[in-house]
Amino acid sequence: MAIFTVLLFGFLHVRGITAGLTIKTSSGVVTGFVNNTTPNVSQYLGIPFAEPPTGPLRWLPAVPKSGNAPIDATAFGNNCPQFISSQATVNSEDATGFMTPNNFGEDCLSVSIWAPKGACDKTSSLPVVAWLYGGGFAEGGANVPYQNPARWIERSQKHIVVSINYRVSIMGFPNAAGLKADEQNLGFLDQRAGVEWIKQNIANFGGDPERITLWGQSAGAMSTDYFNFAYPEDPIVKGLIMSSGTAQIQGFFTDGSNHSTFSYVAAHFGCGNLTAEAELDCLRKIDHNAISALIKEHYDMGATPLLAFVATIDNTTTFANYTERALQGKYSKLPAIVTTNTDEGESMVLPYDRVNGVNQTEADAVTLGLFLCPAVQTTKDRYASDALTFRWLYGGNFTNVSPQWWEGAYHTSDMPQIFGTAELLRGPSTPFEVKVSEQMQDYFLAFAKDPVDGLPKLGWNAYEPEGDALLIGRDGVVSQPIAQAKLEAGCDGLNVVPGALPPP
């Protein structure tokens, strides 16, 4: 079913090409297309923003792509090297639209652009949303079916979305002894390079380089907040959207002192007992598919050591204490939307059990501890340091996205509503679901147009401790207030209050 869905989705995006569009960029001359599925959307897919990080460039910061050669942007490029687990999950069983198609390759540093048809020919410039996918820094890509914005652009005709491909897993976060401290978090450097490319080129597509909003979900949301702290003086973007993730989420860092995981992989391929530089050069010669297969084998079998590759605290792209830095004002202070879901943990607790559901205690602990409380801490820190923050809690429960009785508003289930892809797998949305989806899209668009005043004009006010957040899609109501105090009651800083349940 998953493979069929991906193939079908890809087919719908290339069949019936009705117009070719050619645009000059710093990477080369790009030719995109318009299809019959979304005939008012121009698509430019897989545009390289960097040279392929292969051979001697593997595990080095992205080198910007330049030239005048023609670029066929009518199909997605590679997703960065990763693996698809064999374990059953909500995504693999019920929500295959979140699965990353397995067109993996190292030549993967690209952007994909969706714009209203003819936007490049108009005098007005449109707000731009730069998208960072999630996936725990281990997976993800621009062509995840549920996260394709073509239908959203078709409806709005008022903005542009750009997806940035960045390196993940061992290719993006190697923590290798042979690399400099500021070269370990390659995935975050890729993201910055992608944003810089957008700034330089988006005007040619009809976008406003002075109105770029950086939006990420899960690991992409964490990346958005890391970006916020990494570039306080030159963020390029003008607003931030963090969906189910902030820099306060714990457990995705290492201090960088222990390189044993990378060295274990190197030794497996005959690259052990070498100097740090020789180890790195030796592993550069090993096919990326073989490396990913080893990591997959350990993950699926629960073998030791666990081959997990996470960000290194380098005090450049990442830092140790985000509350301290926020209260010192060491971040961009850009306006931000911070969102969480009512049932985040339902899709993250294993084993998957379609009949009985999840261990509810464990799922609630994930919802609160991994997502809600970090969002609460981030919001409070931002308020204390005078930054505008808009909070919502998504509670939609729709059977075409959450088909099992126990899934609810699980982690990522809000994405199809914003991207307009909820009908992709399991039939049409209900009239209420359509209203919820369109309201969520309109909120994000208003913020992208004007991060300061756009949302208050729609009745959504910035965070105040005694004020209200928005509860979206719950109990038959599209959007309703929920007291910030109620939203935050289960959290004591980053700690969960004993016995607390997720709101509402």
Domain residues of the chain, as ranges? 1-328, 335-504
For residue range 230-243, list pLDDT tens digits in order. Answer: 999 999 999 999 99
What are phi and psi for residue 288, nearest 5 degrees? Answer: -60, -30
Write out the catalytic residue numbers: 218, 344, 411
Contact present, 164 and 195 (Cβ < 8 Å): yes
For residue 28, give the 3-state DSSP assignment. strand
Phi–psi pair at 117, nearest 5 degrees: -55, 130
Mean pLDDT, residues 249-277: 94
What global pTM score does this model have? 0.95
Instruction: Identify the pLDDT of residue 16.
Output: 41
Q: What percent of the chain has pLDDT over 90?
A: 92
Q: 32 - beta bridge partners?
A: 21
pLDDT digits (tens, 9 = 90+) for 168-204: 999 999 999 999 999 999 999 999 999 999 999 999 9
**Can you give 85-117 as a three-state secondary structure string?**
CCCCCHHHHCCHHHCCCCCECCCCCEEEEEEEC
Confidence of residue 13 (pLDDT cuts 50, 70, 90): very low
Indicate the pLDDT class of residue 20, thresholds 50, 70 and 90. low
The tens digit of pLDDT for each residue in 295-309 reads 999 999 998 888 999
Between the CA atoms of 254, 257, 261 and 263, what dihedral angle is there, to the nearest 10 degrees?
150
Q: Is the pLDDT of residue 6 over 70?
A: no
**Percent of the chain scored above 70 by pLDDT?**
96
The C-alpha angle with vertex 190 and arms to 184 and 195, in degrees rounded to 5, equals 140
d(CA 130, CA 237): 9
CA distance 190 to 25: 18
pLDDT, tens digit (0-9, with 9 covering 90-100), for 90-106: 999 999 999 999 999 99
Q: What is the mean pLDDT of residues 340-361?
A: 97
In terms of DSSP bridges, do strands 70-72 and 110-116 run parallel, antiparallel, or are they unpaired? unpaired
Secondary structure (DSSP) of 54-82: -GGGTTSPPPBP----EEE-SS--PBPS-
pLDDT score of 19 more than 80: no
Q: Pinpoint the alpha helices (H) of 231-372.
A: 260-268, 276-283, 288-301, 322-327, 360-366
pLDDT tens for 446-472 read 999 999 999 999 999 999 999 999 999
Spatial contact of 79 and 143, defined as CB atoms under 8 Å apart: yes
Grade residue 2 by pLDDT with cuts at 50, 70 and 90.
Answer: very low
pLDDT, position 496: 98
What is the per-residue burial (b if ≥16 Cβ within 10 Å, else e) of 161-178? Answer: bbbbbbbbbbbbbbbbbb
The arithmetic mean of pLDDT across residues 64-72, rounded, is: 93
Interval 390-443: pLDDT, tens: 999 999 999 999 999 999 999 999 999 999 999 999 999 999 999 999 999 999
User: What DSSP string runs through 450-503?
Assistant: -TTTTTGGGT-PPP-TTSEEEEEEETTEEEEEEEHHHHHTTEETTEEPTT----
- Using the predicted structure, report yes or no on whether residue 163 has a pLDDT greater than 80: yes
CA dist 104 and 136 (Å) reads: 17
| 290 phi/psi in degrees, rounded to 5 | -65, -40
Token pair 């080129």: residue: 201
Q: 1-328 architecture in CATH?
A: 3-Layer(aba) Sandwich (3.40)
